[in-house]
Amino acid sequence: MTDASSNTIIRVALDVPLDRTFDYAAPGPLAIGSRVSVGFGPRQMVGIVLGHATHSEFDLKPARPIEDMLPPLPDDWLVLVRFAADYYACAPGPALFTALPPALRTPRPFIPARDPQYRLTPAGRDWQPPRRAARQCELHAALAASPLARSSARAIAADAGRRLDDWLAAGWIEEVDDQPAALTLGPLPALTPAQQQALDQLPRDGFSPTLLFGITGSGKTEIYLRRIAETLAAGRQARVLVPGINLKPQLESRFRARFPNTVIACLNSSQPERARSEAWVAAWQGRARLVIGTRLGVFAPLPELGLIVVDEEHDASFKQQDGLRYSARDLAIWRAHRAGVPILLGSATPSLESWRHADAGRYGRVELAERATGAALPAIHLIDIRRLPLDDGLSVPAIEALARCRDKGEVSLVYLNRRGYSPALSCTDCGWIAGCPSCSAKLVLHLRERQLRCHHCGHHQPVPHACPDCGNPDLKPLGQGTQRVEAALTRVLPGARIRRIDRDTVSHRDAWAEVYQAIHDGEVDVLVGTQMLAKGHDFPTLSLVVALNTDGGLYSADFRASETLFSQLMQVAGRAGRAERPGTVLVQTQLPEHPLYQALCRHDYPGFAATLLDERKQTDMPPYCHQFVVRADSEKLADARAVLGALVAALPAIDGVCVYDPITASMVRLEGRERAQVLVQSAQRGPLRRMLAELTAQAPVLAKPYGRHLRWSVDVDPLEL
């Protein structure tokens, strides 16, 4: 037994999937939010102090404070994470540890690196790096413009650290005070009248969500930059959330170029852990004034938050699909509300949820209807392929358009959202199709790599020489992937320089930079690529987009598929055409009369949204109802279904809440496990929350007899059903 006289008893959260805290004995008073090192079983773990107790039934193990000079985690941060844990039905421990950066999840001290700022000395101003050394010249120019943080220098050149040390030693640069005296702005364009009007309409203080509805290229990012400048100038911090796929060097450089003496922290899951932890702590300590992040950026603590921007707010990557299944956009709105600051949600194709909030007046709506550069919107035409022969997926009108474009010396883009050579490999004799041993999915043929690959679990195997069922050596690829279209284009456009862009060819930052450069240097005629190419890129000479195999989105079982398809097509279409060259978009389809394509040709998002909202209302679908899904998976489908059946039977009836029968997931097997789910929905959040509470209380008990093989989870506001 331990009591308070000798020790302080603390309640800590640990990264274990249990819905409870653990008591430890602390050597002295420790504030809520402190990080401590504790023994848990055989391991030493980090715990977060969430409360205190006066006595405990048990003999308590000791907790040691982690001595790294970091203050306790801030209250409003703890409130946010506990809200997220509660709302998304996740145990508080794992939620806290999802929200922390890697270095703070370990019981070791974290000492943030210094991030000094440099400026040129008079001697450094007279000196010039050799003209050939482009990166050095860029670094020198940046230093000439304003003081530059070491972290920002690294964004200019990977070896900037070493260069700065050399220049420091040579007396060309010197260190300046940590806090720049005044905000410096890089070169900025004069706003178009439409932008000026939009900017004037934006609320400046208090919680005020605003939907910035503007077509691709309408200058939304410029509006963000202006509002961020105001926020920084007022001494506040700004947070910008962008979809994962958008956080590319170009975007980062655009922000750094605009705010050359501002410490900018970038947060994304693909950066090195150390860098992510540094950025997080810099934001927390207020050193970083601007935080740009993917969804996990919503958890960085910003003590002087003045503005939140969510770019491409409709993007599905803001929703985490495992563990703490949070929506970063929705948490950002919650945070803005708590902090009483404006939040700007930007999109060319807003989510129907946000659109409806704007219709209902809960969000402001500000529209940018023209391209900032004055370019006309691309003309979108449909190619009806019902009666056209296709050559590896390409119709004659599409091939002719590509050839004309190349002859004019302009770049075209062939878009299809499928990597690999073909999405299936089949036997011409018996109809066998290569399937994944662990998933209910076909294996994708990757010809270049001579492999069959599963795009769901990562399984891969060599391409068989003959059908494993009947021995027939004649195996045929079915359908098209980017590799196949690349090969077809090489054949039908002899001499054209073709470049494929997908996750197989561009897997890291440097690869992007190289591709980008090649396009700018005019070394590419035709780009073939996936969604990866669609977002946040600006290719000035691109004048034609051809979209292939998009009809699938209209047959999908997922009720959101057409919403997603429309936004993807609008986004790729937005790549075509700049000021001097009007663009053209060709969409090959078997369903040219479909309202989606008709709305697309008119660039009519509001019309399409109205149609979809009407449909959703008729069928009681989100945003006209709220949902959560309970998923279970096991080695045997029967177990997954049985536990969900028991759960449905055990739940009480709650007025206005509809609990559907368990169904098999649309992809039954994934990574060797079989999956089922139950959908629960209601028009009202209140009753639905009560049902969720019932469920999280009952599920562990009901799942217990099935042992460790059975896993279950809850997804609140699911994007995928």
Residues that bind ligand ADP (CB under 6 A): 189-192, 195, 214, 216-222, 372-373, 538
Distance between CA atoms of 237 and 305, rounded to whole angstroms? 5
Q: Give which of ligand ADP, Zn ion, none residue 504 binds (C-beta under 5 to 8 Å, depending on kind).
A: none
Q: Which is nearer to ligand ADP, 220 or 248 (CB)?
A: 220
Q: For residues 565 and 417, give the distance between their C-alpha atoms in angstroms, rounded to a whole number.
A: 10
Q: Which stretch binds Zn ion (CB under 5 A): 77-85, 426-434, 674-682, 694-702?
A: 426-434
Q: Could you give the CA distance from residue 547 to residue 569 in angstroms, rounded to a whole number?
A: 8
Give the whole-angstrom CA distance, residue 74 versus residue 48: 12
Separation CA 112–CA 95 (nearest Å): 24
Which span (122-130, 163-171, 436-444, 484-492) binds Zn ion, by CB under 5 A? 436-444
User: Choosing among ligand ADP, Zn ion, none, which partner's interface includes residue 594 (Cβ < 5 to 8 Å by kind)?
Assistant: none
Residue 191 interaction partner, one of Zn ion, ligand ADP, none, beta carbon < 5-8 Å per kind: ligand ADP
Describe the crossing of helices 605-618 and 561-573 by its angle, rounded to 10 degrees. Answer: 170
Q: How many residues does the chain have?
A: 721
Q: For 367-435, give the DSSP string.
A: EE-S-TT-PPPPEEEEEE-TTS--BTTB-HHHHHHHHHHHHTT-EEEEE-S--SSBSEEEETTT--B-B
Q: Which of 430, 466, 511, 683 binds Zn ion (CB under 5 A)?
A: 430
Among 10, 63, 467, 625, binds Zn ion (CB under 5 A): 467
* Residue of 176, 194, 388, 457 that binds Zn ion (CB under 5 A): 457
Nearest distance from residue 407's CB to ligand ADP, in Å? 26
Residue 20's nearest CA partner among 44, 50, 41, 45 is 50
Instruction: Give 367 or 429: the residue with its C-beta nearer to ligand ADP.
Output: 367
Least spacing, CB of residue 600 vs ligand ADP, in Å: 18
- If one asks whether residue 432 binds Zn ion (CB under 5 A), the answer comes out as yes
The residue among 566, 521, 556, 559 whose CA lies nearest residue 539 is 521
What H or E segment, with its residue span, contains residue 629? strand 626-634
CB nearer ligand ADP, residue 31 or residue 579: 579
430 touches, from Zn ion, ligand ADP, none (C-beta below 5 to 8 Å by class): Zn ion
The answer to whether 440 contacts Zn ion (rule: CB under 5 A) is: no
478 binds Zn ion (CB under 5 A): no
Give whichever of 253 and 666 is closer to Zn ion, judged by the CB atom: 666
Q: Burial, 462: exposed, middle or buried (Cβ in 10 Å; 0-12, 13-18, 19+)?
A: exposed
CB of 605 to ligand ADP, least distance (A): 13
Task: Find which of Zn ion, ligand ADP, none residue 219 binds, CB within 5 to 8 Å per kind.
Answer: ligand ADP
Size of the site for Zn ion (CB under 5 A): 15
| Closest CB to Zn ion among residues 239, 453 | 453
The nearest distance, CB 254 to ligand ADP, in angstroms, is 8
Tell me the HSE value of 425 on the side-chain side, using a 13 A CA sphere: 28
Buried b (16+ CB within 10 A) or exposed e, 42-69: eeebbbbbbebeeebeeebeebebbeee
**Residue 606 token pair:** 């509001």
By beta-carbon proximity to ligand ADP, the closer residue of 211 and 454 is 211
Task: For residue 320, give the amino acid letter.
Answer: Q
Q: Report if residue 454 touches Zn ion, rule: CB under 5 A.
A: yes
Q: Which is nearer to ligand ADP, 279 or 532 (CB)?
A: 532
Range in contact with Zn ion (rule: CB under 5 A) among 118-126, 195-203, 465-473, 475-483:
465-473
C-alpha to C-alpha distances, 57 to 3, 53, 63, 560, nearest whole angstrom: 9, 11, 17, 52
Cβ nearer to Zn ion, comparing 173 with 427: 427
Residue 668 main-chain phi, psi, to 5 deg = -60, -50
Query: What does 220 interact with, of ligand ADP, Zn ion, none (CB < 5 to 8 A by kind)?
Result: ligand ADP
Q: How far is CA 192 from CA 124, 219, 258, 371, in A?
A: 38, 9, 18, 9
Q: CA-to-CA distance for 106 and 615, rounded, in angstroms?
A: 49
Residue 222 interacts with which of ligand ADP, Zn ion, none, CB < 5 to 8 Å by class: ligand ADP
Which residue lies nearer to ligand ADP by CB, 520 or 617?
A: 520
> Could you please report the per-residue DSSP string of 54-110?
SEESSPPPBEEE--SSPPPPPHHHHHHHHHHHHHTT--HHHHHHHHS-GGGGSSS--
Least separation in angstroms between CB 452 and Zn ion: 10
Residue 488, H or E segment? helix 482-492
- Nearer CB in complex with ligand ADP: 180/217: 217
Question: Rounded distance, CA 288 to CA 278, Å?
Answer: 10
* Shortest reach from residue 456's CB to Zn ion, in Å: 5
Provide the minimum distance between the beta carbon of 255 and ligand ADP in the complex, in angstroms, as a whole number. Answer: 12
Note whether 472 binds Zn ion by CB under 5 A: yes
- Taking the least distance from each CB to ligand ADP, the nearer of 221 and 395 is 221
Minimal distance, residue 204 CB to ligand ADP, in Å: 20
Q: Which of 429, 604, 694, 717 binds Zn ion (CB under 5 A)?
A: 429
Helix then strand then coil, in percent of the chain rounded to 5, is 35, 25, 40
Sign, CA torsion 622/628/634/640: negative
Q: Which is nearer to ligand ADP, 189 or 468 (CB)?
A: 189
Q: How far is the CB of 471 from Zn ion (least distance, A)?
A: 7
The answer to whether 283 and 302 are in contact (CB under 8 A) is yes
Segment near Zn ion (CB under 5 A); pick from 16-24, 319-327, 459-467, 598-606: 459-467
Which partner in ligand ADP, Zn ion, none is near 432 (CB below 5 to 8 A by kind)?
Answer: Zn ion
| Partner whose binding site includes residue 454, from Zn ion, ligand ADP, none (CB under 5 to 8 Å by kind) | Zn ion
CA 678/CA 661 separation, integer angstroms: 6
Complex with ligand ADP: residue 218 or 480, whichever CB lies closer: 218
Least Å distance, CB 674 to Zn ion, is 13
Min dist. Cβ of residue 253 to ligand ADP (A): 12
Residues that bind Zn ion (CB under 5 A): 427, 429-430, 432, 436, 438-439, 454, 456-457, 459, 467, 469-470, 472
